[in-house]
Chains A and B, each alone.
Chain A
Amino acid sequence: TVGCVVVDKQGHCAAATSTGGLMNKMTGRIGDSPLIGSGTYACDLVAVSCTGEGEAIIRSTLAREVAAVMEYKGLNLHEAVDYVIKTRLDEGKAGLIAVSKNGEVACGFNTTGMFRGCATEDGFLEVGVWE
């Protein structure tokens, strides 16, 4: 799975996710990536793209959950990402990337690693695989 989340200079957020799914999957299987609110979500606060165990991400509506805890619990982006990865995945393994309308960027995962990169306007740039 691949994904990208962006907040532009106007503070507008957007998310995109694309995948081939699982190796040896049944034909007709649909994972989390095309499901708005599960693998992909964006609103006026935040944009999120997920990857990992699709069925677990669907059960937890993971992407929307990040936005929800920001809206209803008042968490900031990093707190929201940590919270959903730790409390919403049950036994599932997954990761996500997110940006907020304020120009923050965050990623979280409970797998061994996640191929990821991020950058911000103030010059921060990071590419990583492991924790």
Chain B
Amino acid sequence: MGGWAIAVHGGAGVDPILPNERQEEAKRLLTRCLDIGISALRSNLSAIDVVELVVRELETDPLFNSGRGSALTEKGTVEMEASIMDGPKRRCGAVSGLTTVKNPISLARLVMDKTPHSYLGFAGAEEFARKQGVELVDNEYFITEDNVGMLKLAKEANSILFDYRIPTLTTCGGSAAMENQLQMNGLPISLYAPE
């Protein structure tokens, strides 16, 4: 047995010209989440409880693409998804198409713990959330000003963007795309948000 360990992520595909202050903001959030996880592990919380706890924190902060701060659909709404898996017995739970559940990861945990199923989506998942009494919020809660701007850019570029959370409008717009030769999926990297 090698002792506990923890890792967190806030998405991949970072804009190479991401401003330093945005990088530092992201590092602060990751450090805070690691600290929460470390404290929980030192308090002997189980691995499954710790991953839920840490992801809830990431969902609640608007910096990365999950929960509040989620990427927007073509209609300007938020549809979230999450999953959780417990290694020892390979138990798992997953949800998709959530529009009002404040912390999707906890609903995924409830699917794992409280249903005979592995995956609930859309209306059925929302109904299950209401029955379980989890915290619900209006869809507007998840929508940030930055993301509204990024959706506008995505529509102007007629492209689907990866979930770039951190870039400012000036770093992910068309001019930045022209300056940057790196490509992902055939599109300039600067058009993507780091997932």
Contact = CB atoms under 8 A, between A and B. Distances in A.
Interface of A: 1-31, 33-36, 39-47, 49, 51-54, 91, 93-107, 109, 111-122, 125, 127-130
A14 B3 CA distance: 14
5 contacts: A13-B88, A16-B55, A16-B82, A25-B71, A118-B7
B79 to A, nearest CB: 6
Given A1-B64, A4-B54, A20-B70, A115 B83 contact: no
A40 B13 CA distance: 18
Interface of A is mostly: strand
A36 B18 contact: no
A94 B12 CA distance: 6
Nearest to B182: A112
B47 A8 contact: yes
B108 interface: yes
B28 to A, nearest CB: 9
Interface in B82-113: 82-88, 90, 92, 94-97, 104-105, 108
A12 B11 contact: no
B46 A12 contact: yes
Interface of B: 1-16, 18, 23, 26-27, 30-31, 33-34, 37-38, 41, 44-48, 50-52, 54-55, 58-59, 64-67, 69-75, 77-88, 90, 92, 94-97, 104-105, 108, 118-119, 121-122, 142, 147, 150-151, 154-155, 159-164, 166, 182, 184-185, 189, 193-195
Contacts of A31: 81
A74 B55 CA distance: 30
A111 to B, nearest CB: 4
Q: Which of A34, A47, A109, A121 counts the most chain B CB atoms within 10 A? A: A34
A122 B3 contact: yes
A67 to B, nearest CB: 9
Nearest to A93: B184
A113 B14 contact: yes
Contact of B67 (A15, A18, A40): A18
Nearest to A49: B9
A43 B85 CA distance: 8
Contacts of B38: 119
Contacts of A117: 7-9, 27, 30-31, 33-34
